[in-house]
Amino acid sequence: MADDFTDLSYHVGTYGKNTLWVCDSNTSKMVRPLPTPNVVLEAGESSKSFTCLEKIISTAIESNLGRDCTFIALGGGMVCDITAFAASIYMRGCKVILIPTTFMAMADASLGGKTSINFRFAKDIVGSFFPANEVLICTDSLRSLSNKDYMNGFATVLKHSLLTKDDTLFNILAAQKQKVMDRDQETLKAIITISLQVKKSYVDNDPYERLGIRSALTVGSTFAHALESMSRLQWSSGQAEAWGICKSVEASRELGLCTPDFCAGVLKLFAFYGYDTSYKIQRGDWMDYKNQLCKDKKSVNGVVNFVLLKDQGEYEIRPLDDEVIKKLVMYPSV
């Protein structure tokens, strides 16, 4: 990891002219002057679109970039996902370097080659697997995030702490809240490093998510993406992810797959960090929610599968009855 952002600017400055920089309206201010050619996207999830993809590809064409060019993404999950997707299709694939600036992008999106854009309010519905040639992580950039954006990505670190039997990460998160909230650099480096090691252990064994191993990393996302999509992306990814992980663990408890104590411990950890673990959708929104669930990428023959945690580092993937889902996500009838 680069120690500070100055080092990082120097490092990426050595990539020469055959590059296309992609930033958002916040991260474009992090490297001055911003090298050309570049594309600056409006910050926010709504930029993960075909329109912005076209803008990146058009700029590459107008700048006469060949197949040997490199796209450099400087930003959070949105910038990294769309830039890597653009790189995967530009001239059938050019190089891509990711410089993640948010927690979500550092601890998750940067590793494992998932690229995507959203379409018709469905999150990450269009994309490819295209691992980055290089990932440069500078935890210093986390200092510039608003509290909302910081916590948005931190949910991923909490998730990764549940996906390993080694409880080092879980214990750091449970014991070092103040350091995490103060954005202490050593603590951040430690938790991001472990978080990426956890993710790597799944990705290495199932890079294309075909063996039911990598899918474990999406625990909570089936519940979460449906909520995000139903709310027309008004829920942030991380807040929805935290809620979705809690619903997955509650579903495990309902089915007797995990102990009530394990479930209570997970809910307590997320609540400890201020996430909304108990949100319920209105009864009238059920059909909309259910329709969004059906678009999940883990569906097989129209059956939606959920990743359910049985214990730390242990999971099962299976469908859930509507009645169980309703009980967890929806207000009960009066």
The yes or no reply on residue 81 touching ligand GLY (CB under 6 A) is no
Stretch that binds ligand GLY, among 68-76, 107-115, 172-180, 297-305 (CB under 6 A): 107-115
- To ligand GLY, the closest distance from the beta carbon of 214 in angstroms equals 5
* Number of other CB atoms surrounding residue 57 within 10 Å: 18
- To ligand GLY, the closest distance from the beta carbon of 186 in angstroms equals 25
CA dihedral 311, 316, 318, 321 (to 10 degrees): -20
Q: Among residues 48, 114, 123, 326, which is the contact residue for ligand GLY, using CB under 6 A?
A: 114
Q: Please state the length of the chain.
A: 334
Considering Cα of 89, then 129, then 31, then 101, what sign does the dihedral take?
positive
Distance CA 265, CA 131 (A): 34
- To ligand GLY, the closest distance from the beta carbon of 157 in angstroms equals 12
The yes or no reply on residue 297 touching ligand GLY (CB under 6 A) is no
User: Judged by CB, which is closer to ligand GLY: 214, or 326?
Assistant: 214
What contacts 252, CB < 8 A, 6 or more positions away? Answer: 258, 262, 263, 308, 309, 310, 316
User: Judged by CB, which is closer to ligand GLY: 58, or 133?
Assistant: 133
Looking only at residues 263 through 292 of this chain, which bind ligand GLY when binding is defined by CB under 6 A?
A: none
The yes or no reply on residue 112 touching ligand GLY (CB under 6 A) is yes
- Cα–Cα nearest to 325, from 249, 218, 251, 215: 251
User: Judged by CB, which is closer to ligand GLY: 237, or 277?
Assistant: 237
Stretch that binds ligand GLY, among 39-47, 108-116, 133-141, 283-291 (CB under 6 A): 108-116
Distance CA 220, CA 153 (A): 14
- To ligand GLY, the closest distance from the beta carbon of 144 in angstroms equals 23
User: Judged by CB, which is closer to ligand GLY: 112, or 153?
Assistant: 112
- To ligand GLY, the closest distance from the beta carbon of 113 in angstroms equals 8
- Residue 46 class from Cβ within 10 Å (0-12 exposed, 13-18 middle, 19+ buried)? middle
The yes or no reply on residue 55 touching ligand GLY (CB under 6 A) is no
* Number of other CB atoms surrounding residue 267 within 10 Å: 18
| Radius of gyration for the chain, computed over Cα atoms and rounded to the nearest angstrom | 20
- To ligand GLY, the closest distance from the beta carbon of 191 in angstroms equals 17
What contacts 295, CB < 8 A, 6 or more positions away? Answer: 122, 125, 225, 226, 229
Distance CA 148, CA 154 (A): 10
DSSP 27: G
User: Judged by CB, which is closer to ligand GLY: 21, or 103?
Assistant: 103
The yes or no reply on residue 108 touching ligand GLY (CB under 6 A) is yes
Count of positions on this chain that bind ligand GLY (CB under 6 A):
6
User: Judged by CB, which is closer to ligand GLY: 40, or 132?
Assistant: 132
Looking only at residues 11 through 40 of this chain, which bind ligand GLY when binding is defined by CB under 6 A?
A: none
Distance CA 309, CA 231 (A): 26
Looking only at residues 176 through 235 of this chain, which bind ligand GLY when binding is defined by CB under 6 A?
A: 214, 217-218
- To ligand GLY, the closest distance from the beta carbon of 203 in angstroms equals 7
Give me the residues that bind ligand GLY (CB under 6 A), please.
108, 112, 114, 214, 217-218
